[in-house]
Chain A
Amino acid sequence: MENIIDGLKNMLKEQVSINIDDIKLKISLDFKGEKKRKDELGKESEVKDMLKVIGGLTEDIQMDINVDEESQKITIEFKNKEDMINVQNILENLWEKASELLKKAFLGDFMAIKDLGDFTE
């Protein structure tokens, strides 16, 4: 398990690219490698959970999340630029943060996850 955690950040970096469209106020997560089914890509609520519980998003941001199996893409659209930059900053550090949290949790650091909040599902 530890070996997997150590490589997690790079695996995410290699397989998921984050693309920003400043004009259309859109962020897309583009998946490479083996094609994933829609339920493997995730639900809208799971994307929000990821941003909040793991990413630390505290504000209730209005965003439209679209999961598209055909293009292997998750697209997040925002109403204003400030919200987009907020989520962009979270996503840019998310792979590292997820890996670090998992490692701390694996080593039994209860404090590291104590205040993370709860997943909705």
Chain B
Amino acid sequence: MNVDRTEDVSAMIDDELEQDGQHLVDDLLNTPLLRERWRSYHLIRDSLQHQLPEKLDKTLASSVAAKIDNEPHILAPVKKSQPAYLKPLAGLAIAASVAALAIVVLQPAQEGSSEQGIQVASFTPVGTPVTSQARQDDAQIRQVRAEARARLNSYLVNYNEYQTNSGIQGMLPYARTVTYENNRK
């Protein structure tokens, strides 16, 4: 490790680092030499300030570091950003009755559009040809525009009506019709 970095470590301890602190921290964690410098400089400073403990455990830092190295890397889950939501019926462009059918919102299924969606998209059915095909198309999913949406939603109303009539759950499919408002922004 070059001299500049060890100087940076010194500057950091004195809280005088001017830039690039993030990279230094990364280097520090990855480089035994810099970790050792960090420890030494702290020791020197503590000594100068008469803050040394009675007994020094020189192996402590390296044993902690070794334990950290052996830890599995845990990646913090990153929340996927929601896809831009298309307001149904925005404006008067859509004919009224078509518009009205946008009551129920079938969301374009984009990758990562919801927590469930991710898992649904990645679940693996036994028939592998189907899955690989589904994944390919997943990547090609397009933004559904308002009119197209309205058509989809009218399909959903008709589907619901059929399900309500012939299914075994009675009126419950209509719950979907009544509860989409949380999607609206």
Question: Do A and B assemble together?
Answer: no
Contact residues of B with A, CB < 8 Å? none
